Structure 1
């Protein structure tokens, strides 16, 4: 098995069929599609099974979980050499997997390949997800500052997950669980290639505008906090250990002023 594709879903019977159809139309055929249903109450199961394709493996949870836990479960069931992700409302372009696997074949040292994409909604395409302003090979600093990794674009070697573990399932990371995962990967000695070509269509919902504003503000605060702690030698540049992330998340949730977060983190990180 070449690629295991993980699609977590919940109550998206009206959308997940389009996602599955786009995956089944890939020019690469050697893959399995693992759909992890987070106790949907609509016709999601019926839609998934209507495709009647032996490459589709459907799993259902009867108790609600975070999307990170559903992705982790899918990864635990994966048989492929590579792991790919797709959200249940996004679409893959037909040559997505082929173009990414070619890069792995050209460079055996590659560990992960991600790409650009196109925003779209019910009215049509809305433009590129990213206006590239970084090197082709992603580092911790690039991922922290630019956030160029969109989960539905990613293909990575299964060995990376075997090494670092899955996504963080702590509820405190609900909004940024995939972001923390990419940061953790970039902290390791893994080679990550960014392809500046659109290989997916990323669906934008009206409610996402509010979340994107929140994410932008949070990212700006993270940069300031990381810099402030680094200058005093409390956190080495690029350090994103689990303890620091846990403390940081708590403080971000409690305090609205960045200076309060920095002050409290300094005090708590100095503790033995």
Structure 2
């Protein structure tokens, strides 16, 4: 009995791998990927990201490491990493003053798009990595299955200090898809309303695949943005794509940065990011063509305006907070927020009268 059980498992394992190989050959043999990895002064972690791409079981891909004017020592190490990886990997250096963006991923990604030879484009940040070696083969299968497919994204996990802090990046989207018919293995077709529901977060580029010509029609990433360029791209892609698929599979690990060093409600840096977010949302309301994208951008602007109002109240008092609170109310009216605006207005009058009497 033990031998028969072992033999059955061995046969199952062999058949599974044969079928997987057939699937890769039949669905993806004429699909070529260009994987774009932007980097700047982080050669100590770049190899982890690159190795996760090289471990993919899909063979027809190239990797473009786009170095955004790193310091000379990092340039040397990055070039050595690319050379050691073999012919699949190309090292592109953006020089200072001639396209170097000095830390703007949008420009690095656009340089990769311009140099890419693949029909399909995938992206990976240098501080993250792909955890699923079947990611590209499954994406190729989806694009082969649907010739009109222009945009696909998958799920990922968020890790912080070596521990998983978010098991699924898209929990609300996965809930929306419960009970729906799959169009392929772990594959769902999404409507624009699915992608741009207000409880669905913008996905990161680590788990996105685009047709090359589709990204070119979109004009690539906004090179003026130093923050939120991936969120901007997600909304514009969801707004413009004719067909969108979601691969309900964790394929990447996003290493979450230290919030104390980045977005923090008690810091001016956090305030500046919220202001940039509002600017992106306002721009999206101008350029997007569908009501779903417009509503999503308006909700985004309202949320950041509310956060700014709370920040201003804490730091400067009700007078300045009232400005942002009123802006948020204009973006999205709720009775609760209307009461809050009135509360700030009354407090502002009281504080002003006290200041007048003291003078």
Deviations for 1:151-202, whole angstroms, at most 9, x for unmatched residues?
A: 10011111201222111112xx322111111211222242111112101111
**What SS does the aligned partner of 2:237 have?**
helix
Q: Determine the C-alpha separation between the residues in 2 that align with 1:44 and 1:190.
A: 40
Deviates more, 1:254-263 or 1:6-15: 254-263
When normalised by structure 2's length, the TM-score is 0.59
Structure 1 residues 138 and 88: alpha-carbon distance in aligned structure 2, compared to 1, 3 A threshold? farther
Partner of 1:129: 169
Match of 1:46 among 77, 89, 93: 77
CA contact (8 A) 1:114 1:153 kept: yes
Q: Determine the C-alpha separation between the residues in 1 that align with 2:94 and 2:326.
A: 42
Point out the structure with the larger helix share.
2
When normalised by structure 1's length, the TM-score is 0.76
Q: Determine the C-alpha separation between the residues in 1 that align with 2:134 and 2:208.
A: 14
Question: Are 1:115 and 2:154 matched, yes or no?
Answer: yes
CA contact (8 A) 1:143 1:182 kept: no
Partner of 1:190: 242
Q: Determine the C-alpha separation between the residues in 1 that align with 2:260 and 2:89.
A: 29
Partner of 2:327: 260
| Structure 1: segments with no counterpart, 5+ residues | 230-234, 265-272
Instruction: Give the CA RMSD over aligned residues.
Output: 3.6
Partner of 1:28: 58
CA contact (8 A) 1:11 1:40 kept: yes
**What SS does the aligned partner of 2:203 have?**
coil
Structure 1 residues 186 and 236: alpha-carbon distance in aligned structure 2, compared to 1, 3 A threshold? closer
Could you say which structure has the greater relative contact order, defined with CA pairs below 8 angstroms and 6 or more residues apart? 1
Structure 1 residues 147 and 155: alpha-carbon distance in aligned structure 2, compared to 1, 3 A threshold? same
Question: Are 1:18 and 2:48 matched, yes or no?
Answer: yes
Q: Determine the C-alpha separation between the residues in 2 that align with 1:75 and 1:236.
A: 26
- The CA deviation at 1:150 is 1.6
Q: Determine the C-alpha separation between the residues in 2 that align with 1:68 and 1:5.
A: 15
Counterparts of 1:234-245 in structure 2, within 5 Å, are 237-238=291-292
Deviations for 1:130-152, whole angstroms, at most 9, x for unmatched residues?
A: 31434441526633621242210
CA contact (8 A) 1:117 1:197 kept: yes
Deviations for 1:68-111, whole angstroms, at most 9, x for unmatched residues?
A: 01100100001001011000011112111111111112222211
Q: Determine the C-alpha separation between the residues in 2 that align with 1:208 and 1:152.
A: 23
**What SS does the aligned partner of 1:51 have?**
helix
Match of 1:60 among 70, 83, 93: 93
- The CA deviation at 1:67 is 0.9
Counterparts of 1:183-262 in structure 2, within 5 Å, are 183-207=235-259, 210-211=262-263, 237-238=291-292, 257-260=324-327
CA contact (8 A) 2:83 2:89 kept: no
Match of 1:99 among 138, 146, 155: 138
Partner of 1:158: 212
**What SS does the aligned partner of 2:112 have?**
helix
Partner of 2:127: 89
Larger Cα-atom Rg: 2
